[in-house]
Amino acid sequence: MSGHDRLTDIQGVLLDLDGTVYEADHAISGTVETLAALRSHGIPYCFVTNTTSKPRSVVVERLRQAGIAATPEQIFTAPAVARDWLREKQFTRCYFLLRPPLLADLEGVEAVDETPQAVVVGDMGDDFTYNKLNRAFRFLLDERCAFVTLAANRCFKGGDGLCLDVGAFVAALEFATGRKAELIGKPSPAFFEVACASLHADPAHTVMIGDDLESDALGAQACGLRGVLVRTGKFRAEQLAVSGKKPDFVLDSIADLPRLLFQ
């Protein structure tokens, strides 16, 4: 493989989870072997996910069930990064559009239903209701109330097909309020910076692997990382074909990553 067909000087690897590392309750073929290859070559890696439906403890258990060992410190979720951001901004009273178990990753920030300092939007699945969205809308009419989203993804792959993701609901609130949400999850620079720092890796020598063209591959590139798209999970060839921007590489799956890095 020539130098033009592989990535060189990589100091760290960021791995998306759902659709990249695992699907449903099983690891995608080649994942375990790829992680072993990274370890054997001394390349540190961590898992980065925009999931806002599960706390980190549940993500660790899901990885374990898929045959992948990981610690909470290796997993970067939008709620965990948002916790530090909210504390730094002194937004300690927030109205959350978020599933209750995720509040465990937001320790030190109080969930309130009146006079919040910020509205924080995450995944609520079937619990998204008109009343909850309308309540958030009314809070956001006050410019003093910060508008924060944990993700901007259009869709995700569920067990029965593609499903609306957080970005769709955020777009509705943005349209209604005329405001732009502050993004904390992928592809925000803050999210990628925190993950790279955990690996002691220069962003220019770090690669992001994922199945989401916008949030993973192109989002990483916009923040100075290398972006690699995989044809698993919610990958759609037609989306890639019409995109004006392209990832550094497109792989069939995570199983092809060692070939890209080491051969």
pLDDT band at 6 (very low <50, low <70, confident <90, very high): confident
**Structural domain boundaries of the chain?**
3-50+187-262, 79-183
**Number of other CB atoms surrounding residue 194 within 10 Å:** 17
- Which of 83-87, 188-192, 222-226, 241-245 is the most confident on average? 222-226
The CATH code that applies to domain 3-50+187-262 is 3.40.50.1000
Residue 107's nearest CA partner among 124, 84, 89 is 84
Residue 41 gets which letter from DSSP?
T
Reply yes or no on whether the pLDDT at 65 is more than 90.
Answer: yes
* pTM for the full predicted model: 0.82
Q: Which CATH architecture has domain 79-183?
A: 3-Layer(aba) Sandwich (3.40)
Specify the pLDDT at position 2: 38
| β-pair partners for 248 | none
